[in-house]
Amino acid sequence: MKLADLATGSDMIVWIVFGIFAVISIILFSGHGSWFISGYNTASKEERKKYDEKKLCWTMGIGMSIIAIIAGVLGVLPRARKFSFIPAVIMIGVVCVDLSPALDKGAQIGIGAMSIILGGILAIIGSIVEFTKKKKSPLA
């Protein structure tokens, strides 16, 4: 079995990523997903009082919904999947740059950051699968 034989798997990966991020977005927009937010979920109660939890959830919900929309577009437009690694690499890079100061201070990576990194990795895998697909000959 070759990697190119998993072509139907990339469809499933894209829709799984879409579903995960859509659900996380809904949870965050409802204001109940503060435990998804890296750094906020590990902060003390005194630190949490400095921030507006609803606004923080709303902002993270927007970010997660953008990722869900990108995954949805990739699900609807299969030709665009070859380039899904571009937003995935940007996504992972932004999260790593954003988390590096916090990790230096001993903070833990939250489930929100982990889900973004996982989604990016899945998008990169889907992109690799799309690039390795063999084109079907019109004569065959």
> Residue 89 to residues 22, 27, 34, 94, 123: CA-CA distances in angstroms?
20, 25, 25, 9, 9
- pTM for the complete prediction? 0.58
- pLDDT tens readout for residues 39-94: 777 788 888 888 888 888 888 888 888 878 877 887 787 777 667 677 777 777 77
**Residues whose CB falls within 8 Å of the CB of residue 139, separated by 6 or more in sequence, listed in order:** none
Report residue 101: phi and psi, to 5°. -65, -40
Other Cβ atoms closer than 10 A to 43: 15
Return the number of other C-beta atoms located less than 10 Å from residue 109's C-beta: 15
